[in-house]
Amino acid sequence: MVNRNYERNVFNNNRSLGKQTGVVLIVALVFLIALTAVAAALMQNSTTDMKMSGASEEKVVATQEAISASDEVIFRQVNADVGNNRFASPVVRFQDDDFRNVTGSLGITNTGNDTTANIDIANNELELEPDCPHSRSASSAQVFTCNVIRVQVVRKYGRKNTNEVEVNTGVAQQLLR
């Protein structure tokens, strides 16, 4: 009896296989196309994320290099020989563009020749000696004046050096009248 029921079920299943029209195959292909589209979109998104993170890292590195170049300019000017310290020069000398350009002093941080550095008087268009900002040395007779010197470093970065990072550093130089 068991054997007979088994034969009947196998016979009925074989008959139903002949009636299938390919609906399952079409549904499977539609799902396959949808999953392929989702996978392609996710891969495109991940490559865009990698490019963006690489560009962000490159900007951070360029900013740190510009800050280091600014530190190098200040170090070299403070430790320069007598007569070569541009921080201690008269205000009148800052009118000359060749005097303000200190890119040549960047021996360590300008390895790719993509960094420029300039020194300029920040608060002094009239070439006067203004009062010092927030000085600890009190002087009611205005014995102390200051030149605020701006060290400006511009660092180019990017695939074709098309982007720039600019770092401005202020140095207050105290003067006696």
The Cα–Cα gap between 35 and 21 comes to 24
pLDDT at 3: 60
Please state, in angstroms and as integers, the Cα–Cα distance from residue 168 to each residue in 46, 83, 165, following that order: 36, 24, 10
Structure tokens, 134:
């927030």
Amino acid at 148: V
Under a CB-based contact definition with an 8 Å cutoff, are residues 107 and 135 in contact? no
pLDDT at 134: 65
Segment-wise mean pLDDT, segments of 10 residues, the chain, 177 residues: 59 56 86 93 82 89 91 86 76 76 76 82 68 64 75 90 91 76
Q: Where are the beta strands (DSSP E) in the chain?
A: 115-121, 144-157, 163-176
For the range 126-129, what are the long-range contacts, defined as Cβ-Cβ under 8 Å and sequence gap of 24 or more? 127/91, 127/92, 127/95, 128/91, 129/91, 129/175, 129/177
Angle at 58 between CA 115 and CA 42, to 5 degrees: 155
The Cα–Cα gap between 80 and 71 comes to 14
Amino acid at 27: V
Q: Per the confidence metrics, is the pTM higher than 0.95?
A: no
